A and B are shown apart, each in its own frame.
Chain A
């Protein structure tokens, strides 16, 4: 209509939180979000912050170090039992993952772990797993920003 005010264009999201997260994993990085107002990490990645409601979330890359918060060994009807764990990353967020390189029942609450990005290949997207870690000044964590 003539004279009608133009509606301002909506600020469309160009890349979903999941797409950004996945692109980091493809580079071997575990990304999370940070809300500077709340001074807190946000995980899983979202469009708005669950602490403040703000959409101003920054992306950060985890140093890839964490501590086992909870652990179980799940026994499928077929195939070998496997670990499922919740890890508290040092930056203050928790995620579901598994601890590899040791028998699943050897995973203990409180154990220090570090990131290893698993790339199954094909259609299956990359995902973060963890391996036991002994804090020492010599070895650098996997997944640190370049």
Chain B
């Protein structure tokens, strides 16, 4: 049973900050603030309207404090939960709870990272784990590669099928003017790229970029008075299965299964009712695992499902329509961008890559090494 009510809150404003390689000296908090200013402009609210602040970045231990100080606000509700790249989907559920309870009236969810500019090692320091570190796993790649090895072993998934995920993401990215990658990609190029951790080459792995953004949520009622059509939060679900890959119960079944189920239950929808699919593709195996665990194809069929361009721009299921973490942008904790893309698709703002007649979207966040999974289902007014 979920205390959150379907459609009680909505996403009112969204924006990306600068992406890619940002100006020298920009901080993670600078990018959050830039995203917030743009998201406020998107919905016609002002900084003084914000009384709920939710944020996460690997570059600030107490990002809620830093961001509130920077903005000059003292929010009534504040939450800097950090669980990896899915943090922002957790924030959506937390913001919805706070809005429903009247703890705040306008909540902003913000993210920023300058990992490309300052270097990945500096942006996100790895903790020493005496049970893993001696074996020199190149994290997170090695952990996801271990999951891929199980999928290949159990279901016969091939490197070509993994590569098809990267190729589809690239085709979407070519339709996105702010995507990092600008050149076409073939399956052969994915396979022959520099090996990182078998079966992954560098093309099976997300980008290392800077970037940030913001999502503004408010009550459904208030959202209806703002500039853009509200995109309602229909369902939220979350699950944590482990922190380190050596403690993941089954490397082929992720917490997206229970998190998806909870989100579908709350939304009273199933995978067949979803028009746009945004999945956290840190690695090519992720898209396959989440398509399975969120019910778009049976367990083990994900590799065959993505073949032949099914999730590419002209395929039957639009997946990762911004080009994903693989080809659009990946500043380290990518989840927020899935919410931005889902919202803009449902508003019909996506130009060349707009999915026709879409009313519902799923934004699925992943954090750690398949550790934290959080699903958000959003819909237009027609879905209420």
Partners in one complex: yes
In the complex, the answer to whether B198 meets A109 with C-beta atoms within 8 Å is: no
Interface assignment of B189: CB less than 8 Å from any CB of chain A: no
Interface assignment of A60: CB less than 8 Å from any CB of chain B: no
State how many residues of chain A have any CB contact under 8 Å with chain B.
27
Interface assignment of A48: CB less than 8 Å from any CB of chain B: no
In the complex, the answer to whether A86 meets B246 with C-beta atoms within 8 Å is: yes
The docked-state distance in angstroms from the alpha carbon of A127 to that of B246 is 15
In the complex, the answer to whether A72 meets B136 with C-beta atoms within 8 Å is: no
The docked-state distance in angstroms from the alpha carbon of A22 to that of B130 is 10
Known: A74-B196, A86-B245. 6 other contacts (CB 8 A): A44-B131, A72-B145, A96-B131, A96-B132, A105-B198, A125-B134
Sample (23) of A-B pairs whose CB atoms are under 8 Å apart = A22-B130, A44-B246, A70-B146, A72-B148, A72-B197, A72-B198, A74-B141, A74-B142, A74-B198, A75-B194, A75-B195, A76-B136, A82-B136, A84-B146, A84-B197, A95-B131, A95-B246, A96-B131, A96-B244, A98-B135, A105-B198, A110-B153, A127-B134
B131, B150, B199: residue with the most chain A Cβ atoms closer than 10 Å: B131
Query: Which residues on B sit within 8 Å (CB–CB) of A125?
Result: 130, 134
Query: Which residues on A sit within 8 Å (CB–CB) of B45?
Result: none
B130, B135, B147, B197: residue with the most chain A Cβ atoms closer than 10 Å: B135
Query: Which residues on A sit within 8 Å (CB–CB) of B136?
Result: 74, 76, 82, 84
Query: Which residues on A sit within 8 Å (CB–CB) of B147?
Result: 70
Contacts A18-B130, A74-B197 given; indicate if A109 touches B149 (C-beta within 8 A).
yes
Of chain B, the residue at the smallest CB distance from A107 is B149
The docked-state distance in angstroms from the alpha carbon of A105 to that of B198 is 9
Query: Which residues on A sit within 8 Å (CB–CB) of B145?
Result: 72, 74
In the complex, the answer to whether B149 meets A70 with C-beta atoms within 8 Å is: yes
Interface assignment of A94: CB less than 8 Å from any CB of chain B: yes
Give, as a whole number of angstroms, the nearest-CB distance from B247 to chain A. Answer: 8
The docked-state distance in angstroms from the alpha carbon of A76 to that of B182 is 27
Of chain B, the residue at the smallest CB distance from A76 is B138
Query: Which residues on A sit within 8 Å (CB–CB) of B246?
Result: 44, 86, 94-96
Interface assignment of A73: CB less than 8 Å from any CB of chain B: yes
B141, B153, B198, B251: residue with the most chain A Cβ atoms closer than 10 Å: B198
Interface assignment of A71: CB less than 8 Å from any CB of chain B: yes
Measured CB to CB, the residues of B under 8 A from A are 130-132, 134-138, 141-142, 145-150, 153, 194-199, 244-247, 251
The docked-state distance in angstroms from the alpha carbon of A18 to that of B132 is 13
Measured CB to CB, the residues of A under 8 A from B are 18, 22, 44, 69-76, 81-82, 84-86, 94-98, 105, 109-110, 124-125, 127
In the complex, the answer to whether A72 meets B131 with C-beta atoms within 8 Å is: no
Query: Which residues on A sit within 8 Å (CB–CB) of B134?
Result: 124-125, 127
Give, as a whole number of angstroms, the nearest-CB distance from B194 to chain A. Answer: 8
In the complex, the answer to whether B135 meets A96 with C-beta atoms within 8 Å is: yes
Give, as a whole number of angstroms, the nearest-CB distance from A100 to chain B. Answer: 11
The docked-state distance in angstroms from the alpha carbon of A76 to that of B138 is 8
Give, as a whole number of angstroms, the nearest-CB distance from A47 to chain B. Answer: 15
Of chain B, the residue at the smallest CB distance from A44 is B131
The docked-state distance in angstroms from the alpha carbon of A109 to that of B154 is 10
In the complex, the answer to whether B130 meets A97 with C-beta atoms within 8 Å is: no
Contacts A86-B245, A95-B246, A125-B130 given; indicate if A72 touches B149 (C-beta within 8 A).
yes
Of chain B, the residue at the smallest CB distance from A127 is B134
In the complex, the answer to whether B146 meets A86 with C-beta atoms within 8 Å is: yes
Contacts A74-B136, A76-B138 given; indicate if A109 touches B153 (C-beta within 8 A).
yes
Query: Which residues on B sit within 8 Å (CB–CB) of A74?
Result: 136-138, 141-142, 145, 196-198
In the complex, the answer to whether A75 meets B197 with C-beta atoms within 8 Å is: yes
Give, as a whole number of angstroms, the nearest-CB distance from B208 to chain A. Answer: 14
Closest 9 CB pairs of A and B: A72-B145, A70-B146, A96-B246, A127-B134, A74-B197, A73-B198, A109-B153, A44-B131, A96-B132
The docked-state distance in angstroms from the alpha carbon of A72 to that of B142 is 7
A74, A75, A98, A109: residue with the most chain B Cβ atoms closer than 10 Å: A74
Of chain B, the residue at the smallest CB distance from A82 is B136
In the complex, the answer to whether B198 meets A70 with C-beta atoms within 8 Å is: no
Give, as a whole number of angstroms, the nearest-CB distance from A97 to chain B. Answer: 6
Give, as a whole number of angstroms, the nearest-CB distance from A25 to chain B. Answer: 10
Query: Which residues on B sit within 8 Å (CB–CB) of A98?
Result: 135
The docked-state distance in angstroms from the alpha carbon of A125 to that of B135 is 12
Query: Which residues on A sit within 8 Å (CB–CB) of B130?
Result: 18, 22, 125
Query: Which residues on A sit within 8 Å (CB–CB) of B135?
Result: 84, 96-98, 127
